[in-house]
Amino acid sequence: MKQMKKYEKDIIDEDLYEEIDEEELYELVEEARQDALQKEKERKQDKKPKSPFPKWMFWLIALALMFHVVALLPQTFSIPAVDFLMTSAKLSQQEDIKTYKEAIVVIETEESKGTGFAMNADGDILTNYHVIEGNNTVTVAFPEEGLFTGEVVETYPEIDLAVLHVDGNNLPYLPLAKTFLYKPNEKIYFIGNPLKFQGIANEGTIIDYVGVKSKDLPVVMLDAPVYRGNSGSPVIDENGEVIGVVFATMHHKEEGRVGLFIPIDYYYDEKNR
């Protein structure tokens, strides 16, 4: 792991896990859709024919325009929420991503929903402590294996990690990397359950370590679209191994909005104390 040095500690967003909620996302999408349709309507009105032509020709053109607008609609939206859904749809066609997604679980309590992932075939699941805080048992849902009751067996509040256990055999899982080796601009994948969606795959790059006031040790910044519900998402390197766990977002004074993850080494250090 990169040699530790002193980092100026930045403040994580007050809401910690996301600055846009589910209702805002859908409102933004709907506003963008209506705006695109209105612009297309105005464009067609500005192009009124100078001489009359058969009605069947008018409806043929109108139908063609409608299909054209629908086809281009996703590309018309510039909001990041739509971009990350389009990226997920593309990534999810890859065989390795399909395999990774089988190990990603939805973790639900009465108060919250988050992400976790199986780290072995015996039913041990890693997630954030804040996702399960205050609960001894939670509901765990695998995409293919169904629902389980997860028992909280280990908690590490200092690094915002926790381990759950479900009774299962030969469960799909993601292997943990032996260590996190810092590589600037390294490409990574992460998969989680942001907003009202499940099993959303996305990609990004590693920026650098950063200090935050809620942690004694520096965490790692990601240039990636992290949203509420991504808490507990595994950060996966190009070898298919988990190098860390997403836990928050932050507005960095130089990098702008970034995702944050706990390096996997911190889990090993706490577990072996």
Give per-residue pLDDT as tens, 219-230.
999 999 998 889
- pLDDT band for 208, please (50, 70, 90 cuts): very high
| pLDDT of amino acid 39 | 65
| pLDDT of amino acid 216 | 81
What average pLDDT score do residues 203-210 get? 96
Indicate if the pLDDT at residue 246 is higher than 80: yes
**How do residues 98-140 score in pLDDT, each as one tens digit?**
999 999 999 999 888 899 999 999 999 999 999 999 999 999 9
Token couple for 127: 């997630």
Report the C-alpha gap between 109 and 3 in whole angstroms: 38
| pLDDT of amino acid 46 | 67
Percent of the chain with pLDDT over 70: 70
| pLDDT of amino acid 136 | 96
φ, ψ dihedrals at 247, nearest 5°: -135, -15
Indicate if the pLDDT at residue 258 is higher than 80: yes
Report the C-alpha gap between 216 and 159 in whole angstroms: 9
- pLDDT band for 34, please (50, 70, 90 cuts): low
**Mean predicted lDDT score pLDDT of the chain:** 81
Burial (Cβ within 10 Å: 0-12, 13-18, ≥19) of residue 80: middle
The residues, any chain, with a CB within 8 Å of residue 271's CB and separated by 6 or more, are: 154, 156
Q: How many CA atoms lie within 13 A of 153 on its CB side?
A: 13
Of 43-52, 73-82, 216-225, which range is least confident? 73-82
Domains and CATH numbers, the chain: 9-19+176-271 (2.40.10.10), 22-41+54-91 (no CATH), 102-165 (2.40.10.10)
Report the C-alpha gap between 180 and 199 in whole angstroms: 24
Strand 137-142 to strand 104-108: parallel, antiparallel, or no bridges (unpaired)? antiparallel
| pLDDT of amino acid 86 | 85
**Residues 193/194/198/200 CA torsion (nearest 10 deg):** -90
| pLDDT of amino acid 273 | 85
φ, ψ dihedrals at 107, nearest 5°: -115, 125
Dihedral (CA of 118, 120, 121, 123) sign: negative
Contact 127, 116 (CB under 8 A): yes
Beta strands in the chain (DSSP E): 9-10, 104-108, 113-118, 124-127, 137-142, 146-156, 161-165, 187-192, 200-212, 219-223, 234-236, 242-252, 256-263
**Residues 204/205/211/215 CA torsion (nearest 10 deg):** 50
Indicate if the pLDDT at residue 190 is higher than 70: yes
- Compute the chain's Rg from CA coordinates: 22
Percent of the chain with pLDDT over 90: 56
**How do residues 229-239 score in pLDDT, each as one tens digit?**
899 999 999 99
Indicate if the pLDDT at residue 6 is higher than 80: no
Token couple for 199: 């099993």
| pLDDT of amino acid 15 | 35
